């Protein structure tokens, strides 16, 4: 079993375990009444916390675009990846699995799932790209190629990375769709139910 495949299995297994754990926890928190956990005051607070964590995800792309000439914001990418997993888990706790009662929240959950899954896949593609560039750099340096020429060649390799472009075509637009659906959900929930609707 290769290291990449092992890493993929670990990440996939941990993700499934985390989602299952959150759903079990939500089932425990939901009282045996008509009212789902997401519609209780605690459930609504959980939704706001999940939204706040998800909004942390935007620190990375904003920082990257605002400071294009600076070093790559590695810490912000870590926050982006962690918040991109933790935020949706908190939202799943807020929504539950059997308590989807309106079209907009259902669509928002589906979009969130696609964004999260594509983010996990993107992290894997990112890891593979860096691993490939790292290996290629060392091979070229061992062959005696000058560091300037190595950087030039690696720039060409990075520019041809088609997998990353395909991933961006899915992840970016789905993220915008998800945030639009979240905005509709929040506006609708506040309009129809206020901050707390029994």
Q: How do residues 63-114 score in pLDDT, each as one tens digit? A: 877 776 666 677 888 888 889 989 998 998 888 766 667 788 888 888 998 9
Taking the alpha carbons at both ends of the chain, their separation in whole angstroms is 52
Closest CA to 21 of 116, 92, 108: 92
The closest of 193, 192, 127 to 161, measured between CA atoms, is: 127
Task: Note the maximum CA span of the chain.
Answer: 72
Instruction: Compute CA distances 8 → 112, 123, 189, whole Å.
Output: 20, 10, 37
For residues 133 and 157, the answer to whether their CB atoms sit within 8 Å is yes
Q: Using 50, 70 and 90 to split pLDDT, how confident is the model at 4? A: low
pLDDT in tens, 127-180: 777 777 888 888 888 888 888 887 777 776 666 566 677 777 888 899 999 999
Q: Read off the pLDDT band of 54 (50, 70, 90).
A: very high
């Amino acid at each position: 079993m290769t290291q990449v495949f092992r890493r993929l299995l670990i990440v996939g297994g941990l993700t499934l375990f985390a989602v299952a754990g959150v759903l079990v926890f939500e089932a425990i928190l939901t009282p045996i009444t008509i009212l789902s956990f997401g519609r209780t005051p605690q459930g609504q607070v959980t939704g706001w916390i999940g939204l706040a964590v998800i909004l942390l995800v935007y620190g990375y792309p904003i920082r990257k675009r605002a400071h294009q000439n600076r070093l790559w914001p590695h810490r912000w990418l870590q926050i982006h990846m962690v918040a991109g997993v933790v935020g949706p888990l908190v939202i799943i706790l807020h929504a539950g699995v059997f308590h989807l009662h309106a079209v907009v929240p259902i669509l928002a959950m589906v979009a969130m799932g696609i964004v999260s899954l594509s983010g996990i896949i993107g992290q894997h593609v990112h890891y593979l790209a860096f691993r490939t560039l790292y290996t290629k750099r060392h091979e070229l340096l061992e062959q005696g190629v000058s560091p300037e020429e190595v950087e030039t060649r690696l720039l060409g390799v990075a520019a041809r990375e088609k997998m990353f472009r395909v991933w961006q075509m899915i992840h970016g637009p789905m993220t915008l769709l998800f945030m639009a659906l979240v905005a509709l959900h929040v506006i609708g929930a506040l309009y129809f139910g206020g901050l707390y609707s029994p």
